[in-house]
Amino acid sequence: MTADRTPARLADARPGPGHTIEFDGRPVPALPGQSIAAALWADGILAWRRTRVGGRPRGAFCGIGVCYDCLATVDGQPNRRTCLMPAEPGTVVTTQEGHGRADLAV
């Protein structure tokens, strides 16, 4: 796709001004209406969860909230589906390790 044929241009989208969310302590740019998963992907971040068994990296897979691969800790709450959550200004996302709850036995 050439620079003048971006999805935003083809759809004639005119998003409002961008903002930032935070991922593991670093700022990530986001656009109004963009999901957290989309903002992370757009910034080159492909994984934000590690599995309970084996610690394998996971990120967005289905993009519609069915597979649960995109779980992360969002604003201190574990197991949030980032593909369904909007990237609001100031949202804090951290990589989730396993089930995301240190108080649960594995």
For residue 33, being part of any structural domain is answered with yes
Q: What is the pLDDT of residue 43?
A: 95
Residues 57, 6, 10, 45, Cα dihedral to 10°: 20
Which residue's structure tokens are 């241009």?
Answer: 9
- 12: domain CATH number is 3.10.20.440
User: Helix H segments across 7-101?
Assistant: 7-10, 36-42
Q: What is the pLDDT of residue 101?
A: 62
Per-residue pLDDT tens digits of the chain, which is 106 residues long:
466 777 777 777 777 889 999 999 999 999 998 999 999 999 999 999 988 888 888 898 888 888 889 999 999 999 999 999 999 999 999 999 876 665 555 4
Which two tokens mark 85?
A: 């959550």
The pTM of this model reads 0.81
For residue 104, being part of any structural domain is answered with no
Q: What is the pLDDT of residue 97?
A: 85
Which two tokens mark 10?
A: 């083809």
Domain that holds residue 21: 7-97
Q: Are 28 and 39 in contact (CB under 8 A)?
A: yes
- Which residues on adjacent β-strands are paired with residue 77? 74
Q: What is the pLDDT of residue 106?
A: 47
For residue 34, being part of any structural domain is answered with yes
Q: Are 62 and 56 in contact (CB under 8 A)?
A: no
Q: What is the pLDDT of residue 36?
A: 97
